[in-house]
Structure 1
């Protein structure tokens, strides 16, 4: 058994291993690159890279990481599918077997180089549910450019621009950021609204697409990744905010600067070639030097690995059980999500419900259009439900006739809140509001289900009683839903899944009406495709089963684009998966991965959602195009109320 004390011991071992070797090597240097930047919020990217690259490659730690990552990937639903991802998503194809073998054979110079390689390989799956997240390096120093870019339509033509609200937006980062440019005498404000012709020598659109292909990840649809590259509004941590986008808010301090040719927005301006410097924003734990950086950010924490939730032998006191609310959520960058939307662009209509939550409700000035801005399906589980019901009741009492649901930038959350919102809109008479689901039936998962049944474990995700049959009745706790597995061949590889099952989400915390809140013809879903996980499941059911129309903004002009970007299903973080293994009593099984010795997380897409329209196609790879594709304009790209008003006037019949 691997208990909490063994995790702590492992952390001590790693800390000693690194602080000893790092301290010794630092003593031989004229300066410690981490000490040079300690305590600073914004630093030169080259200095950030020097700090991150100061930790030498250690074969023992690398082997441990690979053992854990490969063991977790065995549970990944789409491992075999993505050796050649179904058309048109072939850009997301990765042979993980080949890549992992290559990484194991490679002798890296630094720990950073090893972790970046592993991150890049898994990120190429373009699946925000499946990532290697080394806390030591990913999003530790985030590269920020004072020139966020957007795609806007002017006179019928879509081009790349530096966001017109750049001055208001970037100024919110404060003097710690902007003073660097002031001291250099660089007038970054001059270029707000400039038309961008080239970036790093490539046509602007080509560079945007290059970043979407090689760096953005998270979203299997290329055009949704294009929108990820660009700046956009969203609700984060319950407040209106604005993303910098993947060019202006990169996860790693890879670039020192970015060269653009552009035409400033001022009348009569001529083409200029401008080099914008990046500044790296430190987001990790405080440190003083290299050893303290490693200890604070890189050593495994008490929460890194899972726990055995079974009561200790001889102890009758009931232990705290895991939270069994399935999560489907993507992972996005840190600092830019904390930049609020500049005040002039925040909706001016009164908030009817959810003012301090992820869901915000408004009535537009036409007094007949209600809006639900669904920032995420996370946060306070019960409050989301009470806010939704309060909003719908207010719409009804105010005579609202039609509804816009805005999912822009919604990364997902609780699976059952997506199903709740379907039932809130369609009425409880609609019935089951999710998808048919399966989990991968690898040898260890089959052992876990059998062990849970044998031991009467009914409080884990693999426990049979937490899922329902396809007639929407709960599975008994002794029902082995993974045996016999359903075998199939994909990309020439054998794979297998469990029997299909439903989620169990009801009863909800509030009582919903049986009848629809609005006819489907009077509901429009709008967004930019950055609608992942639970958001994709919600919009998928709304589209496939209710016939609700979807309007998607952005992407490459004229290119096909899905409206939901990340439609796997439930995610298991490494600690969740490890807890399933430990609680089943299988940590010593030869197939079980070891405890992770560093501060990191390998998350995986653990369950399939199968499309209602094509029941043998995972929803993640089902082609579902928006009913209407629109370009952003200067009036709508960062102004939600303007966007809603335009949609309400133009597309409700």
Structure 2
């Protein structure tokens, strides 16, 4: 009996060993559209490599030594404590010791940990996963307000028309996901009276409350006060490819009668093209060619206000182009008789700092709030490795082209006097205790854009009086967009409008403020001569990006504290109605009537 059992076990073992285990990535290889389930199966099929895991945690930890807000974000000051309370170093220690069923699960934990900061500058992106596919929802949702003030979730009225034009090859797939009695074309006009905010908005792991209901769809927004509920075609889950499988809504054609539950499946589109395969990317990481057709559209939109980077020689020609366009465009408007200006910065994630300051300067004109600078004084973190970098630069003349962040020649002091080439500007450090943790920052840095950063001479007079200017956004305005909006509001008294959002929650006109962002690759360049120092981040073993806020801007109303943690409440929350949603001209006309003189 025992021999028979042993023999049977051996036979079974041999039989199982001869069966080929299917490759879960073969299903999606070379495909343009795949299901999130299949994509997830591929991504979760790779085991954690302990050496890569250790490297990722080490790189992030040591890069965060340059992130200004690590200790602030442990418990953000009121009124933001509810939204930002993440101890990064504690969580990275947990991740380091925790086991994961797959490398993708490790990635999700790291990514979600950074997202809990709600800081679009400080994010982790593993390019082996994130930019390869775009999670696509064909029914973007909006929160619309009825004539009686009732608010309910709608599918955007134009959703079917846009989806039909852009993704005709997928219409049948999405139609099949619906019950037969509900044509896809009719769904756009439907009202959904039962909708789980928390389930929908926490799908990508961001910290979300009812006060903060749209930042999760943008890597570059910070949840402060309230945001407008809104999803964009293709914009829902770019951060975690293949993660969101479905959303369930309860449809109501007449408010009293509810019919059925409607479960929407996501589709996932490759941003690498159908001819390329995802399978090979695990063994040979590549710099992804993110879908240029998508980026071209977003870049065209950002021309409205492309404004967050250090002004170095390689940027000046680009900035000159933007500044010339902004100046000439506004001059042309004035020549046509325009006396009032609405600056629409919806979905503007930021850009060049000096472009933001230039726009402020040309609109308002020369005065003490725009000359010598139209921005904020700033500070950078002053750790031991940062001090060594400065010393290396000034002692060895390492940076004659002024390309390094820590080169003193790139900065001015609080009196707006340029540092000399040998100025050890990080000494002495300004020592602080933040949330019970010792920290150190640089001295205050002054203006950085005028006159050389502008290159184009601004006019001697402002183009529009501040009382005739309104800034409007959907709450997705961050970084340099925030810097522009905040200085225009708090220094010039410009009015602001936020589109949509819950009627019972006051809206904020901008998100992440920062002062300047950078990424691991630039920090790696700064520490190149100190690579053997135990504090320096090692070379990264994966194709990844760790972003940080390298400088914080000081506040305007409270100049002793960062502007990041001060209120930014809008003048007007313009609730979206069926006749306003996705109708910019109607929105601008409404704003003109409410906040300007009433003349279009």
Q: Give me the TM-score of the superposition, normalised by structure 2.
A: 0.85
Of 330, 340, 346, 1:402 maps to 340
Q: Distance in 2 between matches of 1:618 and 1:102?
A: 29
Alignment of 1:99-114 (within 5 A): 99-114=91-106
How large is the RMSD of aligned CA atoms in angstroms? Answer: 3.1
Deviation at 1:617, TM superposition (A): 1.8
Using the alignment, how far apart are the partners of 2:55 and 2:277 within structure 1? Answer: 25
> How far is the alpha carbon of 1:388 from its aligned partner?
1.1
2:492 aligned counterpart, secondary structure:
coil
Q: CA distance change for structure 1 residues 586 and 28 in 2, over 3 Å: closer, same or farther?
A: farther
Alignment pair present for 1:281 and 2:269: yes
Per the TM alignment, residue 133 of structure 1 is displaced from its structure 2 partner at its CA by: 0.5
Distance (Å, rounded) in 2 between the aligned partners of 1:474 and 1:412: 26
Residue 524 of structure 1: CA displacement? 0.8
Partner of residue 479, structure 2: 533
Counterparts in 2 of 1:334 and 1:71: CA distance versus 1, 3 Å: farther
TM superposition shift of 1:383: 1.9
Q: CA deviation at 1:27?
A: 10
Q: Indicate how the Cα distance of structure 1 residues 602 and 202 shifts in structure 2: closer, same or farther if over 3 A, else same.
A: closer
Q: Distance in 2 between matches of 1:201 and 1:559?
A: 15
Instruction: State which of 177, 186, 193 in structure 1 corresponds to 2:189.
Output: 193
Partner in structure 1 of residue 151 of structure 2: 158
The change in CA–CA distance for 1:455 and 1:393 in structure 2 (over 3 A counts) is same
**Deviation larger for 185-194 or 143-152:** 185-194
Matches within 5 A, 1:244-323: 244-246=234-236, 251-264=240-253, 271-284=259-272, 292-296=280-284, 298=285
Partners of 2:487 and 2:409 lie apart in 1 by: 24
**Which secondary structure state, in structure 1, belongs to the residue aligned with residue 244 of structure 2?**
coil
Contact 2:134 2:234 in 1 (8 A): no
Distance 1:383 1:377, change over 3 A: farther
Q: Measure, in 2, the Cα distance between the counterparts of 1:513 and 1:604.
A: 35
Q: Is the 8 A contact 1:374 1:410 kept in 2?
A: yes
CA distance in 1, matches of 2:307, 2:185: 32
Shift of residue 539 of structure 1? 0.7
1:285 deviates by 7.0
Partners of 1:41 and 1:286 lie apart in 2 by 5
CA distance in 2, matches of 1:223, 1:29: 54
Gaps of 5+ in 2: 1-16, 310-314
Shift in Å, 1:171: 2.0
Residue among 46, 50, 57 paired with 2:41: 50
Question: 1:218-240 CA distances to partner (integer Å, 9 max, x unpaired)?
Answer: 4333555x43x513xxxxxxxxx
Considering only CA atoms, is the larger Rg found in Structure 1 or Structure 2?
Answer: 2
**What is the rounded CA distance, in whole Å, between the counterparts of 2:58 and 2:198 in structure 1?**
40
1:486 corresponds to 2:426: no
Question: Deviation digits for residues 21-74 of structure 1, max 9, x if unmatched?
Answer: xxxxx9974321111111211111110001111211110000011110000011
Question: Who is 1:17 aligned against?
Answer: none
Which residue of the partner structure matches residue 591 of structure 2? 647
For structure 1, the 5+ residue unaligned runs are 1-25, 232-241, 304-332, 342-354, 360-372
CA distance in 1, matches of 2:201, 2:384: 46
Matched, 1:388 2:326: yes
2:556 counterpart of 1:618: no
**Equivalent residues, number:** 555
2:491 corresponds to? 545
In the alignment, is the contact (CA less than 8 A) between 1:129 and 1:603 conserved in 2? yes
Tell me, in whole angstroms, the C-alpha distance in 2 between the residues paired with 1:274 and 1:286.
Answer: 30
Matched, 1:221 2:162: no
Deviation, structure 1 residue 291: 5.0
Question: Residues 181 and 291 (structure 1 numbering): CA distance in 2 closer, same or farther, change over 3 Å?
Answer: closer
2:363 corresponds to which residue?
425
SS at match of 2:423: coil
1:123 counterpart residue number: 115
Residues 243 and 336 in structure 1, CA contact (< 8 A), matched pair in contact too = no
Say yes or no: does 1:439 pair with 2:372.
Answer: no
Q: Is 181-190 or 395-404 further displaced after alignment? A: 181-190
Alpha-carbon distance in 1 for matches of 2:360, 2:233: 27
Distance in 2 of aligned mates of 1:428 and 1:261: 55
Cα shift readout 1:126-168 (whole Å, capped 9, x = no counterpart):
0000001001112433322222100111112222111111111
Task: Please tell me whether the aligned partners of residues 244 and 336 of structure 1 are also in contact (alpha carbons under 8 angstroms).
Answer: no
**Are 1:123 and 1:218, in contact at CA under 8 Å, matched by a contact in 2?**
no
2:24 is the alignment partner of 1:78: no
